[in-house]
Amino acid sequence: MRLVLVGPPGAGKGTQATVLSEKLGVPHISTGDLFRAHISNQTELGREVQEYLDSGELVPDAVTNEMVRERLSQPDAVDGFLLDGFPRNVAQAGVLGEILAQNEHKIDNVLEFRIDEDIVVERLLARGRTDDKEDVIRHRQQLYRSETAPLLDYYGAIVVSIDAVGDVHEIGERALRALRAEQ
Footprint of ligand AMP (CB under 6 A): 9, 31-32, 35, 52-53, 56-59, 64, 85-86, 88, 92, 140
| Separation CA 52–CA 117 (nearest Å) | 22
- Comparing CB distances to ligand AMP, the nearer of 21 and 92 is 92
- Comparing CB distances to ligand AMP, the nearer of 14 and 80 is 14
Taking the complex as a whole, the smallest distance from the CB of residue 92 to ligand AMP amounts, in Å, to: 6
Taking the complex as a whole, the smallest distance from the CB of residue 9 to ligand AMP amounts, in Å, to: 5
- Comparing CB distances to ligand AMP, the nearer of 12 and 32 is 32
Taking the complex as a whole, the smallest distance from the CB of residue 161 to ligand AMP amounts, in Å, to: 19
- Residue 100 backbone dihedrals phi, psi, to 5 degrees: -70, -40
| Separation CA 145–CA 142 (nearest Å) | 5
- Comparing CB distances to ligand AMP, the nearer of 109 and 141 is 141
Taking the complex as a whole, the smallest distance from the CB of residue 65 to ligand AMP amounts, in Å, to: 9
> Which are the contacts of 26, defined by CB distance < 8 A and separation ≥ 6?
1, 2, 3, 77, 79, 80, 81, 82
* CA nearest to 89, candidates 146, 158, 10, 4: 146
Number of C-beta neighbours around residue 123 at 10 A = 16
Give the nearest residue (CB) to ligand AMP: 32
